[in-house]
Amino acid sequence: MAKKIRILIDSLKKEFPDLKVSEWDTDSTAILWSGEGSKIRGLPAFNYYAMDIDPNETIWIMGVHKDLVKWSEKNGLFWEPYDTGTWLAYSI
C-alpha cells in the first residue's frame, strides 16, 4: 500500500503542482491534502464552505475542486474532510 500511495502522491504533484500533499501516517495508507494555499487552475483546491457559496457544484464537489475529484475517482481514491483546512484521501 505504501508504494501505491507514494506513486499517487507523485502523480498528484505532477498533475496539480500547487497542491500541498503528503503521506498521512507511517503506514502510508492515506494522503493528506492541505487546503491552506493549495490551488487548482488558480482557485482554492478545497473549500469547506463550498455548499454555501457553490450549491450547484460548478467548481467544488463536496468542498473539493471538481478537477481533483475527477482525478481521484480515476485513481481509485475517496476523500473526506478532516477539518476546515485539511482533507484525507484513502485508496479504495
pLDDT at 2 over 70: no
Bridge partners (DSSP) listed for residue 64: 46, 61
Given this model, what pLDDT does residue 70 score? 93
The pLDDT tens digits for 28-79 are 667 777 767 788 888 888 887 887 888 898 998 888 899 999 998 898 888 7
pTM (2 d.p.): 0.79
pLDDT at 26 over 60: no
Which residue segment(s) compose the domain that 55 sits in? 2-91
Number of domains in the chain: 1
Read off φ and ψ for residue 3, nearest 5 degrees. Answer: -65, -40
pLDDT at 24 over 70: no
CATH number at residue 72: 3.30.70
